[in-house]
Amino acid sequence: MRNLILLLCVPAFVFATTYTTINIEGANSGWESDEDFSISTSNGTLYFTWDADYLYLGINHSEADYGNLATFIWFDTDPLENANGSTSGYAWSGFVTLPFKADYVIVWKNQSGSDYIEIQHYNGSIWGQVASANSTELNSGNYYVQFAIGTDYREVRIKRSTIGSPSAIKLCSFTEQQWGSYWRYFGWPSDGWTDANRSSGQSFTHYQGYPLRENIVPDDNMYHDASDASLPVTLTNFSAKTLEKSIHLSWATESEIENHGFILYRAIGNGDFNLLASFTNCDALKGHGTTTSANHYSYLDNAVSAGSTYRYLLADINYRGQETKHFDRIVEVTFAPCALQAIYPNPFNPYTTITYSAPDNTKITFWIYDLLGHPVWNRTVIHDAAGSYRLKWDGVNQSGDKLATGMYLLKMSSEEFTTVHKLLLIR
């Protein structure tokens, strides 16, 4: 039996009920096996986990406890829509290019016991400071950040509300150190770190990405290339159909790999694609994770106008927040619902013209009945293209014989539409 997804747009988010408490003391002893999302490289190890209230980040590096260090942690808090942010990372020394659109950065500087925390937010055009503190802890309103430094280790705890309480994130971390007249840099994920001399700007080509929900387990490849083109969903079809008051979108998958859910984009005419709906606020668009079974999805676009042409683009998001847009499956439909537009003349002699609209690939049947309910004439038409059409009836029955003066009933019907109107034939 095919699996059907009912259209029920109700936000849902569930946190795990128990977590290991992470102590911010400059050591990685708090991370357990099911919470250790570590990346071990020649440049050290990056740890990351979370609970219902906080994000936790640990950096293990041979130079992590040196003085005069500044650590930057960039977050993309809307990776599922990727709607806001900048790929130019806010930094104090040199230009940093990120593999995603970051909208928050947490900065910590420690220098000769003079600690400083800064939170910057990208508001759509520039980076701007939203909070700061001359301390290892910032606690101001919705903003909370705590740092600790240990032997070859530094940790940070960030309140989720500090960066907008996201349901999924991407992140990179970068540390710079002034050593005499030199600047030294190291970053995570270091496998995607470029410019070994760090002399003319730095850039990342990899990132870490997580859906911040319960029951996530470690992955042996939790860092990802910015140009990664993995296809977690095998899409078998994507179609659009005009109904009486909406456009019905439907699609099917043959299989899914770590499919978090779908995003629908819509363009009007030849305009740009804009976000229409997302699995983040519509249960009908939530994916099935990993499955080899066929699944069917649907969505109703009710914000449509007669005569307008719409193009739809479907995208899927995997568990790492990676979006795949199916540009090869864009569908286009003109919203021209079945409608009886005019019957003229009426009364009539010797004929009248029935003007109506119809969507594409639609079968419409016309029946003429006398007042006793007997069918006297019928015609079925199929239109390949949406538009306005005309049909002439010259007051005859199905055999071509002229009918007598009197009142008749016209019934126009399709799969989704039926209407009945009176006709007056005068001989």
Write the pLDDT tens digit of every residue in 345-383.
Answer: 999 999 999 999 888 778 999 999 999 999 999 999 998
Over the range 61-92, which residues count as b (16 or more CB within 10 Å of their CB) and which as e? Answer: beebeeeebbbbbbbbbbbbebeebbbebbbe
Do strands 96-102 and 104-111 pair parallel, antiparallel, or not at all (unpaired)? unpaired
Give the pLDDT confidence score for residue 187 in this predicted structure: 75
Tell me if 47 sits within 8 A of 60, measured CB to CB: yes
pLDDT at residue number 70: 86
Contact 294, 254 (CB under 8 A): yes
Same topology for domains 39-225 and 339-425, yes or no?
yes
d(CA 81, CA 282): 13
Map residue 161 onto helix, strand or coil.
helix
Distance CA 161, CA 144 (A): 8
| CA pair distance 255, 253, nearest whole angstrom | 5
Q: Within 13 Å and on the Cβ side, how many CA atoms surround 146? A: 12
Rounded distance between C-alpha atoms, residue 73 and residue 158, angstroms: 11
> DSSP letters of 34-46?
TT---EEETTEEE
CA dist 370 and 354 (Å) reads 18
Architecture of domain 39-225: Sandwich (2.60)
Report residue 84 as tokens: 């806001």
Per-residue CA distances from 169 to 32, 87, 228, 275 (Å)? 21, 15, 17, 19
How far is residue 107's CA from residue 114's CA, in Å, rounded to a whole number?
14
> Token digits for 146?
């705590």
- Which residue ranges in the chain fall short of pLDDT 50? 1-17, 196-197, 217-230
Q: Which residues share a beta bridge with 153?
A: 60, 150
The residue with tokens 């980040």 is 57
Residue-level pLDDT at 80: 65
Bridge partners (DSSP) listed for residue 144: 139
Predicted TM-score of the model (pTM): 0.52
- The tokens describing 155, both together, are 């940790």
What's the CA gap between 207 and 37, in Å, rounded?
A: 13
CA distance readout (Å), 197 to 184, 185, 187, 290: 8, 9, 13, 42
Residue-wise pLDDT for 178-203, tens only, equals 655 556 667 777 655 555 445 556 77
Give the architecture (CATH level 2) of 229-334. Answer: Sandwich (2.60)
Distance (Å, rounded) from C-alpha 418 to C-alpha 339?
A: 9
Contact assessment for residue 83 and residue 102, using Cβ atoms and an 8 Å cutoff: no
Pairing outcome for strands 168-179 and 375-383: unpaired
Residue ranges per domain, the chain? 39-225, 229-334, 339-425
**Residue 134 pLDDT:** 94
> At the top level of CATH, which class does the domain 339-425 belong to?
mainly beta
Specify the long-range contacts of residues 90-94, CB closer than 8 Å, at least 24 apart.
Answer: 90/120, 90/122, 90/127, 91/174, 91/176, 92/176, 93/176, 93/178, 93/183, 94/176, 94/183, 94/185, 94/198, 94/200, 94/201, 94/202
CA 195 to chain centre: 33
CB 133 within 8 A of CB 116: yes
Residues 6+ apart with CB under 8 A from 79: 100, 168, 169, 170, 209, 317, 321, 322, 323
Q: What's the pLDDT score for residue 221?
A: 39
| Chain position carrying tokens 């399709």 | 414
Tracing tokens 């929900």 back to the chain, one arrives at: 213
